[in-house]
Amino acid sequence: MSTSAIFEPLRLPNLTIKNRILRSSTGGRWDAYDGSGTQTRINWDLKTARGRVGAIISSHAPVHPRGRLLPGYALIDRDDRVPFWRELVRRVHEYDCKYIVQLAHAGRERIIGGFEYPTGVSSTDEPEPLNGFRCERLTTDGIAQVIAEFAAGARRAREAGADGVELAGANGVLFTQFLSSAINDRDDEYGGSLENRARFALEVVRAVRAEVGKDFFLGFKISIREHLDEILPWLDEGNSRDESLQVCKWLEEAGVDCIHVSTGGEFPHPRNPAGDFPTKEVVKTYDGLISNGMYTFRNYLVFRWWPLNAIWKWHWEKPSRKGVEGINLEDARAVKEAVRIPVICTGGFQTASVIAEAIETGACDGVTMARSLIANPDLVRWFERGHDRAPRPCTYCNKCLFNFVENPLGCYDDRRFDSRDEMIREILSVYEPVPEPVAA
């Protein structure tokens, strides 16, 4: 099968990308605790820009410190953050690669909340169910404030020269917490009916449009299915596909340029990133989360002790046992049939023929990748040279995911390297070049 479809430009409203491969939002804890950006994040993003992806979606960029998933990520919450983002975008552009800033608010999904704000905010005041992260219910005024923060974040991204923004609406963060029938328990105009639950997202979209105009790319990432019952069987599964399709239609009407299809009403989720539950790595890094939630100590004991950890691993890996690559394509195809705007899709992509087929059969217009590019930052180059897959593909072992809490993000599957030393060298290469000492 010809894979030429991958190399055709992706024409999105307000943004044309040189090929069909985008780096999905991925980033380690490279930045300062307060959210000021560093040279290391620039180095990290340049790895994939150099590898010839068409566009990079930034790591989640919180629009307020209370909305970060964990410290060590560059924020876009103040105007004095703009110089960092401008430098990052400028450097990525040198590789003919587009840069999209992902505007985010974690809500209650704060893996490490940090010392500044003891609790997160959410649509509800119920704690997050797996780890027990506590939160406060947003008031109507609080909602209006968060909406304004998103609009200001979008303006800053545009001022920094970015090619667009994506709203992080998937994977259990604040947008999901409003959209989800399983989470949102409000009885005001932001809860109850689907229309009410979608109000927050739609108001953010309209506020962003009012702030940056119509001619700036605006994407929305959404979990079409939440599958919350796959994490804990006693939870409601969350929104149905039809409900999410309706939300996508409303988003399109409100001015969204592209839907980015993901899955799962929590992060991580058995379907995202789909694959292994690497028990040994989890025990090593989840310990640092024990103080963050009401159920984290219980979870730690489950992950630590056999046979509890073996049962959990079996349970976690069940949804992805049929295959990881393209796990969301069915949902993407349904979205594509429901809306006129382009659709991009994430989920373990790393095989050229699989991607080309997805595009040619109309399941999506492009794909986004995270782990596959951590394993092979130059994956697109392999595709260009006619390889269907990189010689050492991502194994979906998810060790990257669980290491990044404590250690530098990178591929920790030592089977993919000639030696452990080589793996460590590759992981630490993100610190080259050394940041220039900056004189005042």
Q: What are the residues facing 219 on neighbouring strands? A: 166, 258
Closest separation in Å from C-beta 287 to other proteins = 4
Tell me the backbone φ, ψ of residue 218, rounded to 5 degrees: -135, 110
Does 87 bind other proteins (CB under 8 A)? Our answer is: yes
- Joined tokens for residue 272: 């995202």
Contact letters (x/-) for other proteins, 379-418, by CB under 8 A? ------------------------x--xxx----------
- Is there binding between residue 291 and other proteins (CB under 8 A)? yes
Q: Kindly identify the residues of this chain, within the stretch 189-248, that bind other proteins according to CB under 8 A.
A: none
Binding region for other proteins (CB under 8 A) out of 18-26, 76-84, 101-109, 170-178: 76-84
40 binds other proteins (CB under 8 A): yes
Q: Which is nearer to other proteins, 75 or 224 (by Cβ)?
A: 75
The SS3 call for residue 235 is coil
Candidate residues 80, 141, 187, 215; the one interacting with other proteins per rule CB under 8 A: 80
Helix (H, G, I), strand (E, B) or coil at 157: helix
Q: How far apart are CA 70 and CA 357, in angstroms?
A: 37
**What is the end-to-end Cα distance of the chain in Å, rounded?**
57
**Amino acid at the residue 327:** I
Using CB under 8 A as the binding rule, the residues of this chain from 298 to 327 that contact other proteins are 300
Compare residues 233 and 437 and give the one whose CB is closer to other proteins.
Answer: 437
Count of residues that interact with other proteins, criterion CB under 8 A: 40
Question: If binding is defined by CB under 8 A, does position 419 make contact with other proteins?
Answer: no
In angstroms, the CA 119 to CA 227 distance is 25
Task: For other proteins, give the closer residue by CB, 118 or 307.
Answer: 118
User: 236-244: long-range contacts (C-beta < 8 A, 24 or more apart)?
Assistant: 236/181, 236/182, 237/182, 238/180, 238/181, 238/182, 238/183, 238/265, 239/179, 239/180, 239/181, 239/182, 239/194, 241/331, 241/334, 243/181, 243/194, 244/179, 244/331, 244/335
Residue 426 in contact with other proteins, rule: CB under 8 A: no
Report CA-CA distances (Å) from 298 to 113, 234, 301, 310.
Answer: 19, 17, 5, 15
Residues 108-147 that bind other proteins (CB under 8 A): 112, 114-116
Instruction: Name the one range near other proteins by CB under 8 A: 5-13, 210-218, 321-329, 426-434.
Output: 426-434
- Residues in contact with other proteins by the rule CB under 8 A: 32-34, 36-40, 80, 82-84, 87, 112, 114-116, 283-285, 287-291, 300, 403, 406-408, 424, 427-428, 431, 434-435, 437-440
